[in-house]
Amino acid sequence: MKPTREARSIAVVINAGSRKGSAAQKLVAESLAKAELPVSAVYTAHGGGELRRTLEQAVSDGHDFVVVGGGDGTVASAAGLVAGTDVVLGVLPLGTANDLARTLEIPRDLSLACAALADGKVVDIDLGRANGQPFLNVASAGLSVAVTQALSPRLKRLIGPLAYGVATLRSYATHKPFHARLEFPDGDHEPVELEDLLQVAVGNGRYYGGGNAVSPTAGIDDHTLDIYAILAAPLREQAKIARSLKNGKFVENEQVHHLTSRKVRLVTTPPLPVNLDGEITTSTPTDFTVERNAVHVVVPRNSSSATFEGRS
């Protein structure tokens, strides 16, 4: 694909409702100008339905390069809109966790991230779908939903990524175990029945939850989903699992079931809400799929996170 400097029309969409969005608008504009990226239009939204409408407007206006500043949920929404098109997506990490930026090796410093947009390369990444809704990092049911609900905007503003740990401790104390059935439409695995669960997650990318790894081998362009289910267990065993979240080796624990597939259906008892990249947008039963090479995205020139293959 052609370099981003040669884009016909560049749009910037800022989620002012994200943790750093409102304060970063001036710096983003200055940094993009310094990087000599010819911005055609700037859109600002404040989350919710306004953000969705703004993203749709930016895409429908015909820009071939759309830079999105916000958290992982914001970027996932944008990715869902441009998937399968020739529009190139740029990412500015303005959220709390910024796990997609971590996966793609995009600098957290805004001026460096803007420079990477100008001098970087275009790669392909996969897009996960849960009942048709897009996600880039992880979709999950169980404890993670309670954690998301406990992550108040005030808590995230005050302590940033540390808010995930605080919210997790609060949520764990009131968690109720559940039953799940995993079904595999492609027949690559037999159905799995699991009782007394803490959480079930389906990963498309590599990182989630402020730097936790989905698994040691997970990648955002490997065309597969990593599925893991964590059984409820004594606090000592849960602490052992927690200590290996950062490198993904928790999937090797005997209290964790781990599989990979391109399609999986999750049925839970009772029905549960499902968290997609920090946004609760659907519920079980949930059909998960992966769209390979679905989104063109700019990463730093030295990033090894993905390659450009073209959609297939």
Q: CA dist 194 to 30, 232, 250, Å?
A: 52, 11, 18
Say if residues 308 and 14 touch (Cβ distance below 8 Å): no
Q: CA dist 1 to 17, 75, 127, 190, 309, Å?
A: 32, 21, 19, 41, 10
Say if residues 187 and 218 touch (Cβ distance below 8 Å): no
- Beta-carbon neighbour count of residue 205 at 10 Å? 31
Per DSSP, what are the bridge partners of residue 193? 181
Residue ranges with strand state E in the chain:
10-15, 39-45, 65-70, 88-93, 121-130, 133-135, 138-142, 178-183, 192-203, 207-208, 212-213, 225-231, 256-261, 263-269, 273-276, 279-283, 286-299
Q: CA dist 23 to 28, 69, 92, 215, Å?
A: 10, 12, 13, 34
Active site residue 279: yes
Structural Rg of the chain based on CA atoms: 19
Catalytic pick from 190, 279, 291, 309?
Answer: 279
C-alpha 144/C-alpha 306 separation (Å) is 27
Rounding to the nearest 10 degrees, give the CA dihedral for residues 40, 121, 113, 35.
-50
In three-state secondary structure terms, 251 is helix
Say if residues 126 and 294 touch (Cβ distance below 8 Å): yes
C-alpha 207/C-alpha 248 separation (Å) is 9
Q: Which amino acid is at 86?
A: D
Residue 145: partners with Cβ closer than 8 Å, 6 or more residues away:
272, 273, 274, 275, 280
Show which residues are catalytic: 279
